[in-house]
A and B are shown apart, each in its own frame.
Chain A
Amino acid sequence: MSDTTAAETAPSTVAVTIDGVAVEAQPGELVIAAAERAGVHIPRFCYHERMSSVGMCRMCLVEIDSGRGPQLQASCMVPVSPQMVVNTTSDRTQRAQEGVLEMLLINHPLDCPVCDKGGECPLQDQTMAYGPGESRFVEEKRHFQKPIPISELVHLDRERCILCDRCTRFADEIAGDPLIDFTERGNQTQVLTFPGEPFSSYFSGNTVQICPVGALTAAPYRFKARPWDLAQTESTCTTCAVGCRVAVQSSRNELVRVLGVDIDPVNHGWLCDKGRFSYGALSSPGRVTRPLQARSGARAADLAEVEPMRNFEPSDWARALDAVANAVKTARPGAIAVLGGARGTNEDAYAWSKLARTVLGTNHVDAQLGDGLPAELVVGLGTATIDDACTADTTLLLCGDLREELPVLHLRLRGAAQAGTTRLVEISPTETGLTRDAAQSERCRGGEAASVLRDLLDGDGPLSDELAAGSVVVVLGRSSVAESADAVAEVTSIVADRVPHARFLVASRRGNVRGALDMGLAPGLLPGRSLITQPAPELAAAWGELPAEPGHDAAGILAAAAAGDIDVLFLLGADPLTDFPDSVMARLGVAGARTVVAVDTFLNQSTVEADIILPAAAFGEKSGTTTNVEGRVSALSELVTPPGSSRPDWMIAAELAMLCGADLGFVSVSEVTAEIAAVCETHAGAMGSPADADGVLVSGAAFEPALPPAHVAPARDAYSLRLVCSRKLYDGGVTVAQTPALASLRAETAMRVHPVDLERIGVESGSEVEVHSERGALRLPIVADAGVGRHNAVLAFPSPELDVGALIDATATVTDVRIETRVTPEPAS
């Protein structure tokens, strides 16, 4: 443990005695924490090492002698002092523990046999270990209606609650969503929400995990399993790119629960609700569990509207892969493309990268769907870790709303700002979840963050001095997909020029996007964070000759497909119709490819148009490694068998290679891992021991990225608003749609505009308008939001009902929209 070494080497430690053993504690350390490190467990309910101490439950009373004789004190509230003597097992301590437990159980219903927490309940366990064994309380217990839903995901049983303040403290201190609080007082004290305002925090599931009794239960897990029947493995969440460490639990070969595991460098034990609950999608009825082939003359989207599966007839792996191999063999040279791969493991990405380059003979590969940053920048620029961002003197946020995109990174940065370990400076087109905690927050027009940054650096405000003096981390991301990536990338040049010591944390969103790019799923990259123009000798030896022709990125691939130049388009867990910003181009591209092969877990907007669908194994069904936003490689574990005949992506690549007369050279996932370690110098040390809970940070790239040239700020049109397409955690993607617990949490899409702009246009907040861009038009409600920067019009992307992408032209730098108040009637069909 790093804490222990710190205590040993720190110049000043505090000598205390705990249960007769001399312990060197750190100055300011709480007695309960010092005892824990010394191997002495003091029972507790309210104390949590990631939150402030409150001394609510009194369970951690121990005898502490600070020089005035032994006294019972709450060890979670008392910092160590020199020569302190602590006794955690004395008769008085035991009497106190018995008394506290008897008192806590006065109103507790003792309904353990029907309680989800039974078997893993601290109250139950500590009552057995430290309790008096019986109660003198013979009166009627206090009763409440049980349980009441305090949100769609969390149920509250107030009878079981012992008022430890963990959930309410978490909601306030950690999540920043104090939507639950103690109400009433005395015997009637209870945790409640405000009537009609549910606990709709993105982090609500954490309260269930830290509840030391069965008071809070998660709706998706209620009565699903008993703790002692669960199989468990440690893994890494791949819902977004933060890479939170998780414990995955299953019952009868079905995932039933995901819990956060506390690791220092990443998630501190917390998870977002999407990461915690989206396992529900894996067993949803929409799951593709066997190969499917389009019925002849299919790709009929009209059928798909009603019953997508009717487009397809069940197939088997032999026939389906044969069909794919035939399509590959008959394709023109350079007319094969692979889109996606960011949802799989590093091994999946490596296998497909190798397949594409060595068997399919194409460089048209892209794991990003035109919604990220240039791959060379993501791989070559990102050297800062999450910890770096949380401890830098200044952390400059030039990214989307992290609460919506990378929720646990949001928690870490919020915590750092609250603790004062870093100073957040934000430039964004609209207020974000971190605006309240930022020392400085500036609004910009969509796509013009660079010019605001330049103004700030040129101005005589304090920012330029602070950036010049201290350490700086820039969190760089795409705050809107309605502007080109170049507009974002421009800031890298400004930062490199003006704040050369700044380091970057590139906030790519999607699951394993960083790993996919590291493994070469980008037109210009090869595995091991190297450029295609400079293959490492080990890789060149292993892979042989590489395709000479330069590749297209996602936009290029779709444009080529639309032009009829792509014969086989592989969609690796990719849904360009939903995720590619320009939906018109995506639709033309997917329709224009001669054969579309989807490797996916679900039918989505794009895969319903496919000719062949190969069922892929998902999270929890395959092992391997994943790489998070900071480049940390950690292990994924297989806990359940994939449904039907689904297979991991790497295996599909290997089999397809075989049918094409080639051999990728691996037959097990560990062989793929070993090959990555062998051919990627950067990953040599990481792949050997990714099973460490903390993972292994892979730092550095084999090249220095060329910084993009400064781009010309687009002309402003006084009559238009700048379209900003920002992300929502519960978005229009397939994961949320297929997760029963989350699907209903998706918000309705409305365009948000600053009230002054709304008044200028002469529209009432809440009215329906028609929004026109150069590309298309949409009809939608518009609402006033003072958090939106002037001249911006914010829409969520992808949105469950609206085809927001119809407004966006992927080739344009920015998208301006006009608001028409006169709604044209629907054309009669």
Chain B
Amino acid sequence: MSFFTEENRTLADEIIGRYPKRRSAMIPLLHVAQGQAGWVSPEAMVEIADLVDTTPAEVLGTCSFYEMFKREPVGKYLVNVCVTMSCALAGATELMEHAEERLGVRAGGTTPDGMFTLASAECQAACTEAPCLQVNYRYRYRVDADGFDQLIDELASGSLDDEIPPHGITARVRQHIPVDRAVGALPPESVDEQPVWLAAPAGNGAGAA
């Protein structure tokens, strides 16, 4: 019983092959898992641990450090409404209230049809365009109540499918490096010389005044 689809399993093996140590592939594989299911399930973590030769506890440790890896199912669209200063001054509180009313869930909740998860977010670095929000991390600027309703309608009708993929898909274009063109990475222990940035400039040894 495996979590990854056959296609993603092949992809996982390719990703693992890029690194001198399997463990290095942990975060990329968490992305693949979230891309496949929209969230990172315990089963996915167990399978990733197996693939990168570590324990599920270490995968959980890494996964839980990153807020954008979701360990509970979220809707197809994760709507992050910015509630930090600039947006708050420009009406984010009202926007959030409207969003809650429109979607019928409180911030943090998911609509019963599994389409939308509404969440409040810290500053998204678009203060000049306040109030702003993100849908699956794609920006929408200067959103008012009407704009929000229109956005939800469009998302629900599927007319934005080209622009906004379901939650978990980071990008639709995946970089693919054929094996014969991969630069290859040496395992750290087989690199003898010191990296250039660590070499001390002449005359500046330890103990020099």
Question: Which residues of A are in contact with B by a Cβ distance under 8 Å?
Answer: 66-67, 81-83, 172, 177-185, 192-197
Q: How far is A113 from B49 in the complex, measured between Cα atoms in Å?
A: 41
Q: How far is A192 from B64 in the complex, measured between Cα atoms in Å?
A: 11
18 inter-chain pairs at a CB distance below 8 angstroms, sorted by A residue, are A67-B207, A81-B206, A82-B206, A82-B207, A83-B207, A178-B55, A178-B58, A181-B55, A181-B60, A181-B61, A183-B65, A184-B64, A185-B64, A185-B65, A192-B60, A193-B57, A194-B55, A197-B56
Minimum distance in angstroms from A73 CB to a CB of chain B: 14
**Cβ-defined contact, A184 with B55, below 8 A:** no
Residue numbers in B under 8 Å from A183 (CB-CB): 60-61, 64-65
In the complex, besides A81-B207, A181-B60, A183-B60, 17 extra interface pairs with C-beta distance below 8 angstroms are A66-B207, A67-B207, A67-B209, A82-B206, A82-B207, A172-B58, A178-B58, A180-B57, A181-B58, A185-B64, A192-B60, A194-B46, A194-B55, A194-B56, A194-B60, A197-B56, A197-B57
Interface size bracket, B side:
10 to 19
Q: How far is A34 from B55 in the complex, measured between Cα atoms in Å?
A: 36
**Cβ-defined contact, A194 with B57, below 8 A:** yes
Q: Please tell me which one of the listed residues A81, A82, A178, A184 contacts residue B57 in the complex, with CB atoms under 8 A apart.
A: A178
Q: How far is A184 from B61 in the complex, measured between Cα atoms in Å?
A: 7
**Cβ-defined contact, A192 with B57, below 8 A:** yes
Residue numbers in A under 8 Å from B57 (CB-CB): 178-181, 192-194, 197
**Cβ-defined contact, A195 with B61, below 8 A:** no
Q: How far is A83 from B61 in the complex, measured between Cα atoms in Å?
A: 41
Q: How far is A194 from B57 in the complex, measured between Cα atoms in Å?
A: 4
Question: Which residues of B are in contact with A by a Cβ distance under 8 Å?
Answer: 42, 45-46, 54-61, 64-65, 206-209
Residue numbers in A under 8 Å from B42 (CB-CB): 194-196
Q: How far is A82 from B207 in the complex, measured between Cα atoms in Å?
A: 6
Residue numbers in B under 8 Å from A180 (CB-CB): 57
Q: How far is A183 from B63 in the complex, measured between Cα atoms in Å?
A: 8
Minimum distance in angstroms from A28 CB to a CB of chain B: 11
Residue of B nearest to A195 (CB): B42
Minimum distance in angstroms from B33 CB to a CB of chain A: 15
Residue numbers in A under 8 Å from B45 (CB-CB): 194
A-B CB proximity, top 9 nearest = A181-B61, A194-B56, A82-B207, A183-B64, A194-B57, A81-B206, A181-B57, A185-B65, A179-B57
Residue numbers in A under 8 Å from B60 (CB-CB): 181, 183, 192, 194
**Cβ-defined contact, B54 with A184, below 8 A:** no
Residue numbers in A under 8 Å from B209 (CB-CB): 67
Minimum distance in angstroms from B26 CB to a CB of chain A: 12
Residue numbers in B under 8 Å from A184 (CB-CB): 64-65
Residue numbers in A under 8 Å from B54 (CB-CB): 178
Residue numbers in A under 8 Å from B59 (CB-CB): 194
**Cβ-defined contact, B55 with A179, below 8 A:** yes
Minimum distance in angstroms from A435 CB to a CB of chain B: 12
Minimum distance in angstroms from A163 CB to a CB of chain B: 12
Residue numbers in B under 8 Å from A193 (CB-CB): 57
Residue numbers in B under 8 Å from A195 (CB-CB): 42
Residue numbers in B under 8 Å from A185 (CB-CB): 64-65
Residue numbers in B under 8 Å from A81 (CB-CB): 206-207
**Cβ-defined contact, B208 with A67, below 8 A:** yes
**Cβ-defined contact, B55 with A197, below 8 A:** yes
Residue numbers in B under 8 Å from A197 (CB-CB): 55-57
Residue numbers in A under 8 Å from B46 (CB-CB): 194
Residue of B nearest to A82 (CB): B207
Q: How far is A106 from B56 in the complex, measured between Cα atoms in Å?
A: 31
Residue numbers in A under 8 Å from B207 (CB-CB): 66-67, 81-83
Minimum distance in angstroms from B68 CB to a CB of chain A: 12
Q: How far is A177 from B55 in the complex, measured between Cα atoms in Å?
A: 8
Q: How far is A178 from B65 in the complex, measured between Cα atoms in Å?
A: 17
Q: How far is A196 from B60 in the complex, measured between Cα atoms in Å?
A: 12
Residue of B nearest to A189 (CB): B65
Q: How far is A720 from B59 in the complex, measured between Cα atoms in Å?
A: 41
Minimum distance in angstroms from B57 CB to a CB of chain A: 4
Minimum distance in angstroms from B14 CB to a CB of chain A: 23
Residue numbers in B under 8 Å from A192 (CB-CB): 57, 60
Minimum distance in angstroms from B42 CB to a CB of chain A: 6
Q: How far is A195 from B206 in the complex, measured between Cα atoms in Å?
A: 48
Q: How far is A67 from B56 in the complex, measured between Cα atoms in Å?
A: 46
Minimum distance in angstroms from A214 CB to a CB of chain B: 22
Q: How far is A182 from B63 in the complex, measured between Cα atoms in Å?
A: 10
Q: How far is A785 from B56 in the complex, measured between Cα atoms in Å?
A: 20
Minimum distance in angstroms from A702 CB to a CB of chain B: 45
- Most chain B CB within 10 A, of A172, A182, A192, A196, is at A182
- Most chain A CB within 10 A, of B42, B65, B208, is at B65
Minimum distance in angstroms from A697 CB to a CB of chain B: 34
Q: How far is A378 from B178 in the complex, measured between Cα atoms in Å?
A: 56
Minimum distance in angstroms from A29 CB to a CB of chain B: 14
Residue numbers in A under 8 Å from B64 (CB-CB): 183-185
Minimum distance in angstroms from B207 CB to a CB of chain A: 4
Q: How far is A780 from B57 in the complex, measured between Cα atoms in Å?
A: 32
Minimum distance in angstroms from B120 CB to a CB of chain A: 17
Residue of A nearest to B42 (CB): A195
Q: How far is A769 from B54 in the complex, measured between Cα atoms in Å?
A: 33
Q: How far is A66 from B56 in the complex, measured between Cα atoms in Å?
A: 43
Residue of A nearest to B62 (CB): A181
Minimum distance in angstroms from A353 CB to a CB of chain B: 48
Residue of A nearest to B56 (CB): A194
Residue of B nearest to A181 (CB): B61
Minimum distance in angstroms from A303 CB to a CB of chain B: 48
Minimum distance in angstroms from B191 CB to a CB of chain A: 15
